[in-house]
Amino acid sequence: MNGVSKVDLYGGMKYALRVWLDPAKMAAYNLMATDVMGVLNANNYQSATGQATGEFVVYNGTADTQVTNTDELERLVVSTQDGQVIRLGDIAKVTLEKSHDVYRASANGQEAVVAAINAAPSANPINIAADVYKLLPELERNLPSNIKMNIMYDSTIAINESIHEVIKTIAEAAIIVLVVITLFLGSFRAVIIPIVTIPLSLIGVAMVMQTFGFSWNLMTLLAMVLAIGLVVDDAIVVLENVDRHIKEGESPFRAAIIGTREIAVPVIAMTLTLGAVYAPIAMMGGITGSLFKEFALTLAGSVFVSGIIALTLSPMMCSKNAQGQRKAKQV
């Protein structure tokens, strides 16, 4: 699965043959635990059986000496006393169980095997979670009927809720900016010009994010929330200056050219100043730099895009919008 660095398993332990010694029976045969350990270690021996070489053929020999079930291990000879053979089953109980019981995992009060999926640093956990949810039905179909599969914890639920909350905040911020601009400009037609700057700047920021390889996350969305109030500044400055020339008697087209030409240097200076404030944050080292890099470059990118829109699209819209206002007043 793409984006998964590793999967940690908790509670899934290998099975092994376990020997439970009976002290009373061992005392009856005058045996100690060290005697049993010695026999087990002596029989736990593996060695290569060699090869048989012919003129044209080489035969590899194999010796299968592994114990496969509890009955075979119980027949292991531990000792002989007065002609009596004492086997492991005579002094102990052999069971097939977990190899150890040092730690265990439980879910809903029952023993379970927990698989923790760890995402790679550059991967998107939301995409990984979506792929896991798609894969779960297929995995569950291949499980035995007495084994059930459930998701105990999904960290992407909190991430999605946070992202939805930030998107809601973006919409609320846009509405507040719209109301404030309307109150101060006093014209609904004039409000259209700075309002158009908001979505266009956010689209431009998305292109900047794609160029830098950024993803949609809490930091980039937070930068967009702050950018909503910044991207309209340049457009409002241009709009006010163009409107001043129109009131002085200039035609809307000429007022747009003259007003933009007068205000171009301040707008560029303001854009560069804001960009110079946020961009250096991305150059910080350590955890702080890694955390705020996307935030800083996203915010600086939105400011640069809004400056370009203010010097290109906003004057054109001012000329067209002012012509409509002049015709409406003449009528």
- Report helix, strand or coil for 21: strand
Instruction: Give DSSP secondary structure letters for 62-113.
Output: -------SHHHHHT-EEEEETTEEEEHHHHEEEEEEES--S---EETTEE--
> pLDDT confidence of 165, banded at 50, 70, 90?
confident
Domain regions of the chain by residue span: 4-141, 156-330
Instruction: Give me the mean pLDDT over the 128-145 stretch.
Output: 87
Question: Given a cut of 60, is residue 138 above it in pLDDT?
Answer: yes
Instruction: Give me the mean pLDDT over the 28-35 stretch.
Output: 89
* pLDDT attached to residue 41: 85
Instruction: Give me the mean pLDDT over the 308-320 stretch.
Output: 86
Which one has a higher pLDDT value, 313 or 102?
313
Angle of CA points 130, 133, 134, to nearest 5°:
90
pLDDT-above-90 percentage for the chain: 4
Q: Is 308 exposed, middle or buried (0-12, 13-18, 19+ CB in 10 A)?
A: middle
> pLDDT confidence of 21, banded at 50, 70, 90?
very high
Question: Given a cut of 50, is residue 266 above it in pLDDT?
Answer: yes
Choose the weakest-confidence range: 48-52, 185-189, 229-233, 322-326: 322-326
Instruction: Give me the mean pLDDT over the 242-270 stretch.
Output: 88
Question: Given a cut of 80, is residue 186 above it in pLDDT?
Answer: no
Instruction: Give me the mean pLDDT over the 202-210 stretch.
Output: 86
Question: Given a cut of 70, is residue 323 above it in pLDDT?
Answer: no
What's the CATH number for 4-141?
3.30.2090.10
Instruction: Give me the mean pLDDT over the 162-166 stretch.
Output: 79
**Residue holding tokens 């509890």?**
70
What's the CATH number for 156-330?
1.20.1640.10
Choose the weakest-confidence range: 46-50, 140-144, 275-279: 46-50
d(CA 108, CA 114): 12
- Residues paired with residue 106 on neighbouring β-strands, in sequence order: 111
Convert the pLDDT of each residue in 101-111 to its tens digit: 777 787 877 78
Question: Given a cut of 50, is residue 32 above it in pLDDT?
Answer: yes
